[in-house]
Amino acid sequence: MPANAVDYADDTSATNGAGGDSSKRLAAEAQRTFAEARAKIEQVVQEGLEQLRAQSRTYADTAGQQLDVAQQYVSERVKERPLAATGAALGVGVLIGLLLSSGRR
């Protein structure tokens, strides 16, 4: 039993003599099948990309809103306690400076 359409076409041409019509018909059918499969795959990929774009827009909007909320929260806390915020910022700056300078040694 032939494994694929090419083997089938070879078997058919061997049994039918010339077999030109049969092999041409099989080749045309194989090309049509491949074209249909390619079209279906392209459609599925396009639908997947559209879905991915829609989801990424949603996630980007949500992240932007959460960033705005976080910015407002930090601004309010700094206004409530400016000295504590300044001290915390200074401490973080010193810590980062120490980490960066230790990498040079």
Residue ranges of domains in the chain: 5-102
Q: Which ranges of the chain have pLDDT less than 50?
A: 1, 17
> What distance, in Å, lies between the first and last C-alpha atoms of the chain?
73
Give the per-residue pLDDT at 1.
46
Let me know: does 8 contact 26? Beta carbons within 8 Å. Answer: yes
Both structure tokens of 18: 């010339």
Predicted pLDDT of residue 102: 83
Q: How far apart are CA 30 and CA 37, in angstroms?
A: 10
Provide the pLDDT for residue 26.
Answer: 92
pLDDT of residue 6: 55
Per-residue model confidence (pLDDT) at position 4 = 60
Q: Closest Cα to residue 85, out of 93, 21, 50? A: 93
